[in-house]
Amino acid sequence: MPSAALTGGYFIRSDVMATIYPAQANSPQTSLSAAVTASSNTLTLADASVLPAPPNLAVIGVNDECETIRYTGKTGDTLTGVTRGFEGTA
């Protein structure tokens, strides 16, 4: 029988919840190997194999110059289906 929890007045059944973006421990790192524009929907990386399988999220940039992207595919070292500024930009 599925478990349920009362959260904010609503029951949440554990059997219907899915992990949308599985986490990967130790924050894998790679670098961009091609220029990125504001409208880029692909990103070419030095080594995309270190990132979790798509669909997933990644952060590009550092400190105050970063943004979260969402990617829906990986082909070799290229992330495809990229949505930039997925959670805003810094």
Task: Report yes or no: 43 and 79 within 8 Å, Cβ to Cβ.
Answer: yes
The sheet with strand 78-80 has its strands ordered as 43-44, 78-80, 73-75
Q: What is the pLDDT of residues 51-88, one digit of tens each?
A: 989 999 888 888 888 888 999 999 999 999 999 988 76
Q: Count the residues in the chain.
A: 90
Question: What is the rounded distance in angstroms from the CA atom of residue 18 to the CA atom of residue 36?
Answer: 32
pTM, rounded to two decimals: 0.70
Does the structure show a pLDDT above 70 at 41? yes
